[in-house]
Amino acid sequence: MLTEFIEPGIPLVVFWVFVGAAVAIQGISKSGFAGGAGILSLPLMMLVMPVDKVAATLLPLLILCDMNAIYIHRRNKVWAKVLSVYLPAVIGIVLGAAVWWWIGSKGVRAYAVHIKRFVGVIAILFSLYIVGKETALAWIEQYRPGRKAALAAGISAGFCSTIAHAAGPIVSLYLFAQGLSKTLFVGTVAWTFTLINLTKLPFYIAVGLIRPNVLLFDLALIWLIPIGSFLGKWMHDKVSERLFNWTIFVLTSISGVQLVTNINVVQWAFESAFMDK
């Protein structure tokens, strides 16, 4: 079963290191830092896994992280703001699911490079957002986006989230501009993503992305989420957010460039070190 999840030429040890790190980063990001470090998970996994398996594997794990987040912030939300993003996001989710269905009907392998490049571009753009978050938030603070902005943000978030689980900055920037307190902002973002990810689940099942083998694979990864959460809480006090964000920026940028150029440095390095001898 595991062979379905590993790109050809990737050693098993390297595979587990990259996938394990990607899942742990989700826990670290959600528990210790609010800079959007979770964006690194997708490009990391795409270096060692088929693109469709990456998207499918991450969704149930993200939902588990969301459940923990909304439990913590069960009272900290503004439903009007949540729904202003979530309702148009459903349109984006349907569009994203249609793209996955079309790709599946044509053959995922034929479009794998295009998906990787799309994710690579998003990773590079969002890595810039990570290090420039304070500037971006200060710039957006002077605006109060209305219904048209909510519609655009929601549809974009739904589509990017369905294709690449990468709607964090879109939702965060829109909701930050609503003038919420810090506690309500964090809680409202958490509830928005919970609804978006739960809505994606039946569509992922319908288009054939999530199957029993994906859920079995997720069972082997669940234990990394609390470890990541523990590390995130520990790093929150021990590691400066600036250093953490710059580290994520560098790693995400490198991974993004590799996906855009379709150069798998991981596979190339392994083949150069061992196959040529």
Mean pLDDT across 67-75: 83
Average pLDDT over residues 99-126: 83
Of the candidates 157, 153, 185, which has an alpha carbon nearest to the alpha carbon of residue 69?
185
Mean pLDDT of 16-36: 77
Answer yes or no: is pLDDT of 151 > 70: yes
Q: With cut-offs at 50, 70 and 90, classify the pLDDT of residue 88.
A: very high
Q: How confident is the model at residue 31 (pLDDT cuts 50, 70, 90)?
A: low
Which residues form the domain of 265? 2-275
240 phi-psi bin (left φ>0, alpha ψ -120 to 50, beta other): beta
Q: What is the mean pLDDT of the chain?
A: 82
Tell me: pLDDT of 266 over 60: no
Given this model, what pLDDT does residue 244 score? 67
Residue 15, pLDDT score = 93
Q: How many Å apart are CA 181 and CA 230, to the nearest integer? A: 26
Task: Evaluate if residue 155 carries a pLDDT over 90.
Answer: yes
DSSP E strand stretches across 43-184:
none
Average pLDDT over every residue of 57-78: 88
Q: Are 94 and 200 in contact (CB under 8 A)?
A: no
Residue type, 4: E
Residue 20 reports pLDDT greater than 70: yes
Residues 27 and 67: beta-carbon distance below 8 Å: no
User: Tens of pLDDT along 162-198?
Assistant: 998 888 778 887 887 888 887 888 889 889 999 999 9
Q: Whole-angstrom Cα distance, residue 176 to residue 153?
A: 12
pLDDT at 85 over 70: yes
Domain count, the chain: 1
- Of 100-104, 148-152, 169-173, the range with the lowest mean pLDDT is 169-173
C-alpha–C-alpha distance, residues 196 and 155, integer Å:
11
Region 89-95: what's the mean pLDDT? 97
Predicted local confidence at residue 243, as pLDDT? 74
> Across residues 219-243, what is the average pLDDT?
80
pLDDT higher for 68 or 200? 200
Residue 270 has pLDDT above 70, yes or no: no
More confident site: 259 or 217: 217
pLDDT band at 209; cut points 50, 70, 90 = very high
pLDDT of residue 89: 97
Q: Whole-prediction pTM value?
A: 0.83
Using 50, 70 and 90 to split pLDDT, how confident is the model at 269?
low
Per-residue confidence (pLDDT) for residue 59, from 0 to 100: 95
Between 244 and 260, residue with greater pLDDT: 260
Instruction: Give mean pLDDT, residues 52-79.
Output: 89
Distance CA 42, CA 127 (A): 12
